Amino acid sequence: MTNTRPLAVVLLSGGLDSTTSLAIAITEGFEPCALTFAYGQRHRLELEAAASIVREYGVVRHVVFPIDLRAFGGSALTDDIAVPKGRSAEECYHSIPATYVPARNTVFLSVALAWAETLGSKDIFIGVNSLDYSGYPDCRPEFIAAFESLANLATKAGIEDGKPLKIHAPLLHMTKAEIVRKGTELGVDYRRTCSCYDPNPQGEACGQCDACTLRLIGFSANGLTDPIRYASSTGNTA
Amino acid sequence: MTNTRPLAVVLLSGGLDSTTSLAIAITEGFEPCALTFAYGQRHRLELEAAASIVREYGVVRHVVFPIDLRAFGGSALTDDIAVPKGRSAEECYHSIPATYVPARNTVFLSVALAWAETLGSKDIFIGVNSLDYSGYPDCRPEFIAAFESLANLATKAGIEDGKPLKIHAPLLHMTKAEIVRKGTELGVDYRRTCSCYDPNPQGEACGQCDACTLRLIGFSANGLTDPIRYASSTGNTA
């Protein structure tokens, strides 16, 4: 092996944001180690999307980590609460929706930290975005900064050598339009991604949940058509 | 229901420390919700101990949360690395042993936070101890303080109401002798607890791993005999 790129743990849900974050990690010179959570999602399409993206990028290390947050309930993504539909962009931006999973990013980053420490990696990438998801407390810049501080106190690495652990959140201050533009520049194949909270049995996105609403805005703002399939009469068919 | 005690999530491994922490949470007026991790331990006796303790205290809510940190390797508790034996108390206190699980307490507290937020609880108890385990970065007071800060940024609760979330670590500054004295005062039945990293098939503690070494010091310093069973020629048979 002549590969000397530093390892980075990259959280990869299979959605638009995390896939763009993966492309950025690679562009920045990291060897990505992709971490996908199987967390009691209501559909498995996200996991298939993540696997497809990992193949596309030739990622050697991909861990699908099972963690069942349904044990505690409390979210439309893991419970039987209905996924909210037809919210305005303004509502998506600012109010905490029923799809909020308690402490989700804290749990995900903690597990990423465990892997990073095992690998000897000092870099973790997460595709959080404070503009599109200002309603989520664990997507805020101050949350990312606090987790980075914690990570450096929590690990042997933080004690034993001088190089601090860094949480990279390259999309933190980007709008969805900027994310789509960046990913498109980097050649991301968005056909492989899956963002919808409630796809139909044919795997078509609903076009009406918060994730679809924001995603569609991201493409249309760039004069692009989202390449994924939407259920008829919704999405970017207009 | 006339019970108006505030709910607290209590991390309960089934060991001496976490059981004492549970007893303290109850004494302080909390209704405990016990959280035990099935994390790829090499033995299941800890889980049986936790179940026994929960029954003893009449704890209504007990979640055994599966999380397989073996996915990443890196520890004698989850891998096939030999458990270190016969280390001096000094070594146990100050050097990071092979039984260190990367980022373990960060992962455990994150999951506890997810449950606390779902329950509407503002209190999490963890039985970490900075004196006996100074070699573990995630048992230090500054780690606990950093996690508390993070928890208040990470959750809806931290945004929506004024009462901050608190991480209680009542054993943080206690020696093992002080912990055993406190638990004994509170009537903890230490026969139900399991601390050994490497018990034999009969369920007897080895008496020689770090956990046994420190536990035995805790009892003998109080002039007490540890009530659990040890393999012959080890433990507190002298």
A141: amino acid identity, one letter: P
Neighbours of B229 (CB within 10 A): 14
Closest CA to A41 of A207, A230, A198, A150: A198
Angle between helices A176-185 and A210-220 (to 10 degrees): 60
B177: amino acid identity, one letter: A
A57-96 pLDDT per residue, tens: 999 999 999 888 777 765 555 555 566 777 777 766 666 6
Q: Is pLDDT larger for residue A41 or for residue B180?
A: B180
- Bridge-based pairing state of the strands B123-125 and B61-66: unpaired
Chain B: residues touching A (Cβ < 8 Å): 63, 65-69, 71-74, 96, 100-107, 109-111, 113-115, 117-119, 137-138, 140, 142-143, 146-147, 149-151, 153-156, 158-159
| Sign of the CA dihedral running B132, B71, A22, A198 | negative
Domain-wise residue ranges, chain B: 7-194
Q: Give yes or no for a contact between B94 and B134, defined as CB atoms under 8 angstroms apart.
A: yes
A202: amino acid identity, one letter: Q
Residue B128 has what pLDDT? 93
Residue A126 has what pLDDT? 98
Residue entry with tokens 């385990």: B133
Q: Is pLDDT larger for residue A113 or for residue B94?
A: A113
Smallest CA–CA distance from B138 into chain A, residue: A154
B44: amino acid identity, one letter: R
Residues of chain B with pLDDT under 50: 237-238
| Sign of the CA dihedral running B150, B169, B110, A95 | negative
Residue A237 has what pLDDT? 46
What would you measure as the largest C-alpha separation in chain A, in angstroms?
A: 57
Q: What residues of chain A lie within 8 A of the CB of B74, using their CB?
A: 117-118
User: In Å, how far are A157, A207, B193 from B43, measured between CA atoms?
Assistant: 28, 48, 14
Tokens of B98: 């092979």
Q: What is the CATH number of domain A7-195?
A: 3.40.50.620
Alpha carbon distance B73, B81 (integer Å) = 10
Residue B238 has what pLDDT? 39
Residue B110 has what pLDDT? 96
Q: What is the CATH number of domain B7-194?
A: 3.40.50.620
Of A67, A103, A143, the CB nearest to B113: A103
Q: Is the pLDDT of residue A36 over 90?
A: yes
CA triple B186-B192-B196, angle to 5 deg: 110
A160-193 pLDDT per residue, tens: 667 899 999 999 999 999 999 999 999 999 999 9
